[in-house]
Chain A
Amino acid sequence: MKQTGSIKALLVKHEMILLWVIAVEVILFQVLGQNFLTAGNVSNIFRHSAEIGLLALVMTPVILTGGIDLSVGSLMGLCAVVFGMLVKVYGLDPLVAAGLTVLVGALGGGLNAGLVAGMGLRPLIVTLGTFSLFRGLAEALTHGSKSYSGFSDGFLALGNSDILGVPAQIWIVLVVGIVIWFLVHHTTYGRSLRAIGYGEEGARYAGLPVKRNISITYVMAGAVAGLAAVILVSRLGEARANAGMGYELLAITAVVLGGVSIFGGAGNVSGAVLGWIALAILNNGLTRISDYEILGEKVSSVARELSGLLTGLLLIAALALAICMKMLAAKRSAKQT
């Protein structure tokens, strides 16, 4: 009983820390940057990071089981190209094409699921393989350079308009978020994910359908990667093979930053969401700073490189912090007994 209490306290603490991080970010960028806290920019922060939010949401169940999915960014590239071809080459209605694209994503996730859950292979190398495979298929389909653009206004509105003052795609993130939150925290399926992440063998002996439940997490990740690809194409107005490149890292960073244990078994969806928001603010905030220079360049003009660099550092820092907290907790409980 005490154990769960202290872990809960730690998690609550973790989310408080994240809220503080977000607050510090907001203050810092408001002071250093231009037009940071304007309605237009705040809506941009969310609009430009909706795809990563989606990926972070579906990466959470995967990591809870102790797995990882490195292929979601590449799958976005494949799905973007498939979507572009369905609409521009085969003349399908964007809505139908979007449905098929999500299906393609689910199939891609299914391949991961089959290899990881079905054959019992390590998710890291499986998804590293599909990382290369999916991106390679996207490049092969477009001959390395072709891109599809000229989509209808109705479709482009999904990525570039507001509904009730909120970017349209954020409503989708919200729906996916609620579904994932409900699944993870209010169903036996969600409980089983943690059990699997905590000890797969034990979960199997307890009679949990381990293979099926792990499979579902990868298929979900694939399907939502397809959805994210459609949203990205709509926002950019262009479908090309390099869509979503590096997004897997951003999604993993958001989830780990959110306090989900990379070893599986512990963490929650609200943490991952906060992690995503902290990352989104970082990415946007740097583009707002044009009064300051770094290495002889305006911060805003090297914001992409800087935010990549900081994302990497943040990921390592978050991991190290999680390990240190774990060690401290272990020491404390050792003292108590």
Chain B
Amino acid sequence: MKRYSRELTVGGALVLLMISLAIFAPNFFDTQPMISRLASQMPALILALGVALVIITRQIDVSIGSQFGMCAVIAGTAAAAGVPMPLAMLCALVAGALMGAANGWLVAGLGLPSIVVTLATMVIWQEVLRLWQKGLLLSLPDGVQWFGMSQGTGQAMVIGSTLLILVLMAWAMKNLSSGRRIYATGSDAEAARLAGLAPKATTFWVFLLMGVLAGVGAALNLVQSPQIQPNSGEGLELKAIAAAVVGGIAITGGRGTLWGVLLGMMLLANVNPALTHFHQPPYWEKAIQGLVILLAVAADGIRIKKQKHLK
């Protein structure tokens, strides 16, 4: 029970939010808007799952929002040029993998601190995107929206594939040796190295996987609207990191579950819709997000202090 205390707390908060919404703003649960909202939250959840792995290895990646934007525009441009849909999506994944590999090489290969490296790549991809798109909207061809299917099916596919990825990743983190390696690298890289676990390689692959997931998120975002904004990824990195940290991924590495990330994302993503349903202005989103990050990290700090005292 104690091991999953964070998941339980966040889950409890989520239930409370939902109950109060059910009482005071029952139309929050109207089926169609709720499914649309859920589908629109899936890309951010994918990013949060990726960044959770990065944080578990005791690194950070703040470039994921820019990666997301790049992947979206690359796939969109390909689709607009007549490339078939599956191939266009593959383009997004490959582009993400390359950007992730660049981060991974700089962090794991050269041993540079990930916060500064990804801060730099965040700006680099963002400016490349600006130079390339000049801030213009990119219209997508007809077959792209909802994979060329009806909206209901498309939304089901977006939500379904995200949940599938979540289940697979959560299972792999628990049961595959590569998943355990990620935890080992984050909790003590030196011990992992001595145990022959190649923490550098693990770190590299985690960053690469992060890039691929940014591509997946971008692809799942792409199908939800007839056009894409080049700045579609701006601020997503903070949303993803916040969801991961709130969901119990310890910033000190080596600790947390992806189910917690799901709860964290559901809680955070519903703050803003909840605000509007409670007839509050939505300007507070970023401030609340920051506050929630600080609270989650502080709670972690207190937990660690307590453990030290017990020892």
Contact = CB atoms under 8 A, between A and B. Distances in A.
Given A128-B62, A132-B287, A134-B290, A143 B281 contact: yes
B311 interface: no
B298 A256 contact: no
B245 interface: yes
A249 B238 CA distance: 16
B206 interface: no
A253 to B, nearest CB: 8
Interface string B92-125: 0000000000000010001111011101111110
B126 interface: yes
B70 to A, nearest CB: 13
B127 A308 contact: yes
**Majority DSSP secondary structure for residues of A touching B:** helix
Contacts of A126: 294, 297
Contacts of A302: 131
Contacts of B285: 136
A131 interface: yes
A24 B62 CA distance: 32
A120 B124 contact: no
B289 A132 contact: yes
A20 interface: no
B293 A320 contact: no
Nearest to B242: A132
B290 A252 contact: no
A297 B135 CA distance: 14
Contacts of B126: 308
Interface stretch (A94-102, A150-158, A310-318): A310-318
B4 interface: no
Determine the interface band of chain B, counting residues with CB < 8 A from chain A.
Answer: 35 or more
B283 A316 contact: no
B298 A295 contact: no
A136 B286 contact: yes
A129 B116 contact: no
A138 to B, nearest CB: 9
Given A120-B305, A121-B297, A128-B62, A133 B127 contact: no
Given A130-B290, A256-B116, A309 B127 contact: yes
Interface string B57-81: 0001010000000000000000000
Interface in A107-133: 115, 119-122, 124-126, 128-133
B301 A120 contact: yes
A249 B297 contact: no
B6 to A, nearest CB: 15
A93 interface: no
B123 A309 contact: yes
Nearest to B237: A128
A319 B238 contact: no
Given A122-B252, A136-B289, A140-B284, A128 B241 contact: yes
A288 interface: no
B251 A133 contact: no
A305 B287 contact: no
B174 interface: no
Interface in A143-202: 143-144
A139 B123 contact: no
Given A68-B115, A139-B286, A323-B112, A125 B124 contact: no
Contacts of A68: 115-116
Given A312-B120, A313-B124, A136 B287 contact: yes
B137 interface: no
A209 interface: no
A134 B128 CA distance: 27
Contacts of B252: 122
A311 B290 CA distance: 26
Contacts of A319: 110, 112-113, 116-117
B238 A132 contact: yes
Interface string A41-54: 00000000000000
A146 to B, nearest CB: 10
Nearest to B102: A316
Interface string B196-236: 00000000000000000000000000000000000000000
B193 interface: no
B258 to A, nearest CB: 19
Contact of A316 (B106, B128, B131): B106
Interface string B158-184: 000000000000000000000000000
A263 B113 contact: yes
A126 B298 CA distance: 9
Given A262-B116, A309-B124, A312-B120, A129 B301 contact: no
B287 A133 contact: yes
B293 A312 contact: no
A319 B128 CA distance: 21
A37 interface: no
A312 B119 CA distance: 8
B87 interface: no
A279 interface: no
B37 interface: no
Interface in B270-311: 281, 283-291, 293-294, 297-298, 300-302, 305
A240 interface: no
16 contacts: A122-B252, A124-B115, A125-B293, A129-B294, A133-B291, A135-B290, A140-B286, A246-B123, A252-B119, A305-B127, A308-B123, A308-B124, A312-B123, A316-B117, A319-B116, A323-B111
Given A119-B301, A295-B132, 11 more contacts: A115-B297, A119-B305, A121-B297, A130-B290, A132-B289, A132-B290, A140-B286, A144-B283, A316-B117, A319-B110, A323-B111
Interface of A: 68, 70, 115, 119-122, 124-126, 128-137, 139-140, 143-144, 246, 249, 252-253, 256, 262-263, 295, 297, 302, 305-306, 308-309, 311-313, 315-316, 319-320, 323
